[in-house]
Amino acid sequence: MDKQNIFQNINVNGFILSAKKFFRENPSLSAQMLLELKKSHALAHDPEKYQTLKSLIKMYQGVDSRYLNFYGPAGTIPTVSYCDVIQQMAQPVASEKQIEFSGKAVFIGYSERWVPNHKDGFPTAYSQSSGVDISGVEMTATAFANLLENMPIHPLHWGFHGSLVFLWGLGLGLAFYFLPTRFSALTLGGTSIFYLVHALYQFKYNGTWFPVMIPLVLESPAAFLGAVLWKYSDTNKERQNIRQAFGYYLPNTVIDQLVKNISLKKNASQVVYGTCLCTDAGQYTSLSETMSPKALSILMHHYYRILFKPVKQNSGIVINIVGDAMLALWAKTDPDPSLRNQACLAALDISKAVQEFNHSAENPELPTRIGLHYGQISLGNVGAIDHYEYRPTGDIVNTSSRMEGLNKYLGTRILVSGEVMDQLTGFLTRGLGRFFLLGKTLPVEVFELICPINESSDRQRKICKIFSRALQAYKNQSWEKASCFFNQTIQINGQDGPSHFYLKQLGHYLKFPPPKTWDGVVYMDKK
């Protein structure tokens, strides 16, 4: 069918719809036509005709409706008024500017830009604040120019669009998670600028409409914020894990420094006022010889559990354990009697818990001795080269250990120094005299810590009173009187360790009397 028959027998609109249907039913036809067009030698030197044919094929190949690619605000497409055309037709030579219509598509219609309330305007992205919109005829010309240049706006295929949005968010999220926060912020800015420039370039030169709002306005900030919050959550979990792991070995104050990334100086230490509590289990050596290492380990885990609980409940810190011995601490930068009170309560609770432990048929007996002393100590890192431990140092630690060892000779369970009991009135104690402990140059006033005063019995108070008289007679070198009181204490209390100890001392002094200047101090030459 030739061109003449087409325009005579079929209307143009019907032909276009028929051709469109034919292309839709034969999707490979357009690709074949474009391939043949590219191979055509006849059109190699006529780019305008080549572009026109290519655009025509693309028009029939594409979708039924398309987005307009506006070239600018109203008046961007050349507009010629009727006046100028009529004037040029009437006086061709007199016209200042010759209007050329040859080879151009001319659209005739109303296109007045200076009447804001004309009814033929359409609001677009280029609409002005004055109310001037693009006219209908200019919009029609824009559509024609888009088809002629094959430059309409075409959004991405829905599959590619969805994949781009998904992969963009996923990629940024992973990048922001694995990169440091500072580099993540730079990456956010850099990738956003790159994406925006690329989207603008594709929109301007290819008519490709890339998604902008979702990737840049929603996904990018959300990915950055999500990664930051995720890393913050992970960091908190790591800090909690550090706190939990190091909590078995270090005090909370030191752990706080670790989780805050504060490096601990090797020689860092602090002078504080502290009460040291030392414990030691009797019969541990014999048990270690008779029990398997695994069974001994299980036993000691159970044993230390009952020791640690009273310390924690009374706000103390377990500083160190070696074998069967434990060192606990109550410390502050300023003197605080409440710390000494808590340490004494912890000692009594430990003694009670150990008695229950020893009475259990499942456990071998581990009689536990406890010693407490109070004063200034240096608290910090102790060690050298590549091994340091956080612990207290000073005479207080050594003296509390000596106090614990003194229990073996006095037959007692809990011994405290006079410094610990200074101005503490809530406990029943028994003064046991002054002792020069091994390695000490000054005597220590020693007390037996018996129980809280409100839990004491008449019998316990009576024993303390009689023993006080016996000790005073002993200091005055009234040996017979002292012996009478010590024996009276034994009659009331049974196997009273301190009374037996002093009776032995008394027997020695009966044979070898001390000098008149003797003040009753006991010298210990053993731990």
3-state secondary structure of 436: strand
Q: Check residues 69 and 174 and name the one with the higher pLDDT.
A: 174
Predicted local distance difference test score (pLDDT) of residue 464: 96
Domain identity same for 335 and 407: yes
Q: Tell me if 254 is assigned to some domain.
A: no
Nearest of 473, 496, 409, 476 to residue 446 by alpha carbon: 409
Taking the CB of residue 517, how many other CB atoms lie within 10 A of it? Answer: 5
Does the pLDDT value for residue 523 go beyond 80? yes
Predicted local distance difference test score (pLDDT) of residue 368: 94
Would you state the torsion angle of the CA atoms of residues 403, 407, 410, 415, taken in this order, to the nearest 10 degrees? 60
Q: Specify the DSSP element, H or E, that contains 136.
A: helix 136-149
User: By mean pLDDT, which of 58-62, 66-70, 175-179, 254-258 is the weakest?
Assistant: 254-258
Q: Whole-angstrom Cα distance, residue 303 to residue 288?
A: 14
Q: Which of 98, 120, 152 is the last residue of a domain?
A: 152
Q: Whole-angstrom Cα distance, residue 255 to residue 244?
A: 9
Q: Tell me if 501 is assigned to some domain.
A: yes
Q: Specify the DSSP element, H or E, that contains 368.
A: strand 368-384
Q: Which of 120, 152, 184 is the last residue of a domain?
A: 152
Question: Taking all residues of the chain, what is their mean pLDDT, rounded to a whole number?
Answer: 84
Q: Whole-angstrom Cα distance, residue 314 to residue 15?
A: 97
pLDDT band of residue 121 (cuts 50, 70, 90) is: low
Domain identity same for 416 and 429: no
Predicted local distance difference test score (pLDDT) of residue 1: 47
Percentage of the chain modeled with pLDDT above 90: 38
Q: Are the C-beta atoms of 519 and 436 separated by less than 8 Å? A: no
Domain count, the chain: 4
Q: Check residues 282 and 98 and name the one with the higher pLDDT.
A: 282
Q: Are the C-beta atoms of 455 and 426 separated by less than 8 Å? A: no
Domain identity same for 378 and 275: yes
Domain identity same for 381 and 277: yes
Q: Tell me if 441 is assigned to some domain.
A: no
Q: Are the C-beta atoms of 275 and 311 separated by less than 8 Å? A: no
Q: Check residues 289 and 222 and name the one with the higher pLDDT.
A: 222
Predicted local distance difference test score (pLDDT) of residue 406: 95
Domain identity same for 273 and 351: yes
User: By mean pLDDT, which of 318-322, 378-382, 487-491 is the weakest?
Assistant: 378-382
DSSP assignment of 381-434 equals EEEETTEEEEEEESHHHHHHHHHHHHHHHHT-SEEEEHHHHTT--SEEEEEEEE
Predicted TM-score (pTM) above 0.75: no
Q: Tell me if 443 is assigned to some domain.
A: no
Q: Are the C-beta atoms of 352 and 361 separated by less than 8 Å? A: no
What value does the mean pLDDT take over residues 90-109?
A: 72
Partners of 335 in the β-ladder:
none
Pair type for strands 522-523 and 427-436 = parallel
Domain identity same for 391 and 465: no
Q: Tell me if 251 is assigned to some domain.
A: no
Partners of 486 in the β-ladder:
none
Domain identity same for 287 and 412: yes
pLDDT tens-digit series, residues 224-234 = 999 899 988 88
Q: Whole-angstrom Cα distance, residue 144 to residue 103?
A: 14
Q: Are the C-beta atoms of 378 and 270 separated by less than 8 Å? A: yes
pLDDT tens-digit series, residues 149-190 = 777 777 888 898 899 899 998 999 889 888 888 898 999 999
What value does the mean pLDDT take over residues 129-148?
A: 77
* Range of 321-330, 363-372, 426-435 with top mean pLDDT: 426-435
Which residue range is the domain that position 368 belongs to? 269-422
pLDDT band of residue 306 (cuts 50, 70, 90) is: very high
Q: Are the C-beta atoms of 149 and 122 separated by less than 8 Å? A: no
Domain identity same for 415 and 515: no
Domain identity same for 237 and 139: no
Q: Check residues 379 and 246 and name the one with the higher pLDDT.
A: 379
